[in-house]
A and B are shown apart, each in its own frame.
Chain A
Amino acid sequence: MEKIMMKGNEALAEGAIRAGCRFFAGYPITPQNEVPEYMSRRMPEVDGVFLQAESEVSAINMVYGAGGAGCRAMTSSSSPGISLKQEGISYIACAQVPCVIVNVARGGPGLGGLTSSQADYFQATKGGGHGDYRLIVFSPGTVQEMVDLIGLAFDKADEYRNPAMILSDAIMGQMMEPVVLPEMRDLQQINKPWATTGMKNRGQNLINSLGLLPEDLVRINQELQEKYKRIEANEVRYAVEDVDDADLVLVAYGTSSRIARSAMGLARKEGKKVGLLRPITLWPFPKQPLADLAAAGKRFLVVEMSVGQMVEDVILAVNDRSKVDFFGVPNGAVPTVRQVYNRIMEIL
């Protein structure tokens, strides 16, 4: 397959279609608008449904319904819109309905601005809505990974019957890079015996998020926690570069990882031994690889496009075995390569 130039948001949308997504509901908000726009054009071509909902709350509940009926379903939005969806996401997590939620994050809090942001890390990885639940959260670091990870997100959502999230940001969504697109997924291969597809010759399938009797709610929660343990054991994904000889390991995801990599290159030119660990799943978080690097005597510098959220998970993983420093910027600003480089040189 030939490479083409795609914007992150377009690549995400086409990647979803090729992964078998046939239902999209969403509501306009910058900087994710290319996703619904692309879907509105493309879904009719593959006999799928594109629906511009009347609100974010409606969109996520439509995804709940479509996912429950066994369709690969997704919604996308940007930070304030994702906040609005949280009640629905909590219901979907409890009802164990697979779906994919995309956040092309922008600067907050509040209405905020259109600049890129990584300040939705807590919201994505620590629940976001009410109750003890988790999303499988993927963080693309290239436009190619937009395509690859949304395919994986649909697969993992189905495998675990759990909502998955792509946490992107304005820069990742808007930038253009060459991509190779996968072949169209065969929809016949996607089998969901639990889905509400009409009883025909089987018993009733029931999908809800209700546990009025205390013992029912306990059972539901135990089942969820059991599943989250399996996800934590099997689905951690991350990438490392130049960590073997490194004295200092940068920890960054998405846009920040690109900036950190350039800063690492500058520092290496000055003979500084710097490496990079890039979490690809933000939940489950790569705790063990960080603990191992800490045990091997590496120090850490966490780089984020926020005033510090993922750094808390790095500190927990390192657990006082080594030192963790932080460089971040308040929303509205984007860290520069030079700033990160200067911070590296202060430490080493």
Chain B
Amino acid sequence: MHGPRLNILIGAFGSGKTEVAINYALQLKRRGEKVGLVDLDIVNPFFRSRELKAFLRSKGVQLVSAQDGLEAADLPALSPRIFAFLQNTAYQVVLDVGGDPVGARALGRFEEYFSQEPYNLWLVINPYRPGCSTPEELYELARRLEETSKLQINGVIDNTNLGNETTAEIRTTGARIVDEAARLLTVPVVMRTVAPPQTWSAAAGEAILSLELFMTAPWETSPAGEVSEDE
């Protein structure tokens, strides 16, 4: 894998950034990279990658999130260890940023690193979320995210889904909206996600990220296992 080692995922609240970030980090690990996953979510104290810390460690992915001891708090307290990953060029870094422009604000703190080396800033899109259903809305969102983060979006990730009710038709409709948004933004669609058993026949040169779903409800089976059992 060549290209920038800093991979920043931004997007609307609830667009699936965390799920994509975890899966992308695991994919990089499987390719033999050293991987750091940075949870920059200062917006939402639920369904965050920090809940999977032990599982990710067992897979060789280093996770950094909140200041130690504050993982379960609704405080915008980030760990100083984030700097270690940003500085260590041996690492591929995936940054999972909180939703909406308010979440992207957390990136401002790390601006100096992004001005020193190239980065991927990828907009994660699910057109089946409110406020994301037209290319124009997505264009506006992208511009506001760029304004807050002071960075340039250079790719979009098509994360079209309707949860476990995703059909081929929904997937195709979503892909069309994402393609049009990418065209307005003049950036490529760098990746499309697919959660098996759903399938997607990739066009030539299209990268597919096959998703295992980790952000599960307590009554669903998580690939990370049932962590709270009989503790």
Contact = CB atoms under 8 A, between A and B. Distances in A.
B197 interface: no
A261 B226 contact: no
Nearest to B133: A4
Contact of A14 (B73, B130, B219): B130
A7 B131 CA distance: 13
B5 interface: no
A10 B45 CA distance: 16
**Size range of the interface on A?**
20 to 34
Interface stretch (B56-64, B107-115, B160-168): B160-168
B83 interface: no
Contact of B46 (A3, A14, A170): A170
Contacts of A333: 228
Contacts of A255: 218
Contact of A337 (B14, B126, B128, B218): B218
Interface in A1-24: 3-7, 10, 14
A171 B47 CA distance: 9
Contacts of A339: 229-230
Given A336-B229, A338-B229, A176 B74 contact: no
Contacts of B45: 30-31, 114
A5 B74 contact: no
Interface in B127-174: 128-130, 133, 161-163, 165
A31 B46 contact: yes
Contact of A4 (B72, B130, B226): B130
A319 B140 CA distance: 61
A5 B162 contact: yes
Contacts of A262: 219-220
Given A31-B46, A176-B14, A336-B218, 16 more contacts: A3-B128, A3-B162, A4-B162, A5-B129, A10-B130, A113-B72, A114-B46, A174-B44, A175-B217, A177-B163, A178-B162, A178-B163, A259-B219, A337-B226, A338-B226, A338-B229
21 contacts: A5-B14, A5-B126, A5-B162, A5-B163, A7-B14, A14-B130, A31-B45, A170-B46, A171-B218, A174-B44, A174-B46, A175-B47, A255-B218, A262-B219, A262-B220, A333-B228, A334-B228, A336-B229, A337-B218, A338-B230, A339-B230
Interface of A: 3-7, 10, 14, 30-31, 113-115, 170-171, 174-178, 255, 258-259, 261-262, 333-339
Interface of B: 14, 44-47, 72-74, 126, 128-130, 133, 161-163, 165, 217-220, 226, 228-230
> A-B pairs with the 7 shortest C-beta distances?
A174-B46, A262-B219, A258-B219, A30-B74, A259-B219, A178-B165, A178-B162
